[in-house]
A and B are shown apart, each in its own frame.
Chain A
Amino acid sequence: MARLKCRACGGEYDTDQPGGFLYFHVCPPLSRIRVTRGGVEQDVAADSVRPTDTVKVRRAGAVVDVLVSAVQPDDQRVGDSSIERPNRRDENVVVSGYDERGHPTVTIRSAGAGVDRV
């Protein structure tokens, strides 16, 4: 059993589950936050949001634009989305061919950015 860390998403997982079953890691989608920056609307990662960005939030039943630094506790941000993570890892097996005896040979669907052993 090994504990691995995915380079694409940063997630950590054990290759073997309790009971000896295999686990097949798949990177989660990439969350995007809709901000307005310099007058331009764009989607950015959560760790790229700046205090001077403007986001749309639902406040008192209405959708309003507020500075990130001025968001209140009960504001609910709108416009968030998710996209498939670039260079994502998907360890689910696919049949890549057949050997000389007709038995399937398998590979993982996508190695992505690779993994590091933790």
Chain B
Amino acid sequence: MSSETSPEIPQPDDLAPVVELASRVLEALDRVLLGREAFHRLVMTGILSRGHILLEGVPGVGKTALIKALGQILGLEFNRVQFTPDLMPGDILGSHILQQTAEGRREMSFQPGPVFTQILLADEINRASPKTQSALLEAMQERSVTLLGTTRALPEPFFVLASQNPIELEGTYPLPEAQLDRFLFKLVVDDPGADVLEEIIATRRRGEAPPPAKTLSAAELGELFQMMDRIYLPQAVARYIARLVAATRPAADEAPELVREVVSYGASPRAAIAMAEAGRAHALLAGRPTVGFDDVRAVALPALRHRLILGYKARFDGIDAAAVVSALLDSVDETGLDLPAGVEVVSGG
């Protein structure tokens, strides 16, 4: 799929069917997992952006169920790996084993690991050792695996949906910033409300969701990705994204006071790329051919949450990344309208 945007925006007739496909996926997800429409939208945004997603939530909120359902709905191969402290890189990537051929020769043959799939659920990724965690780095970035000098491409599309438990941090290994930066989004999976719980209990035995029907074919999924390439990012929006990411650095001119106080290191350029792609996906799901400021504001928190390195002051004052991103969005003006001093826009007409 081409990464360059089409010089022409998709016309309404072209966009409508694709939006319908995406809506079907969302509806199927909403039927499987109750009460998380907005969350499903963000997950779908990440998928359409071809990005990896880090899910954070306490056990039992449906992270694994979501990813399994997603794989089924999208018709993608799905593998699940439970990360444990004794997990080795070869357990994920694969290894060479000595085999005897029919002719009686013995040769080393490669046995692909669970990473060779289209959706890899890395459950409790923070439990594995850093060595094992870093084994996913190349796979996530390059979408290929190199072992013993041989590079093997991973299937297309390839997504890593990792989960981690915010509690029970004893014996865990926090993901390094380099690997965190490779996740497009970090989504927090909240506990379902009482109403949702009531519905779950009332309608599902043992909380098991009904198996989702396959919704998209490979071709249809391809259409979605192709349409993503045609969603237009206006120059002003691109400028806004760049200013937002630049403002995450404490030394930036537009950095708000909170960023200067609590942020040690700001987001990398990868964050801007992630926000641009996620903005396109958000616009597509909204049925628009162009990315607007609202799309950027919608994806800013998931894209920046895990990319801001906060200092000790944030920990002492109880300031999290969400508060920092909120301050950022409030302080950076979207339009960048440089009006002379004393002149202001008072109404939209």
- A complexed with B: no
**B-binding residues in A (CB < 8 A):** none
**A-binding residues in B (CB < 8 A):** none
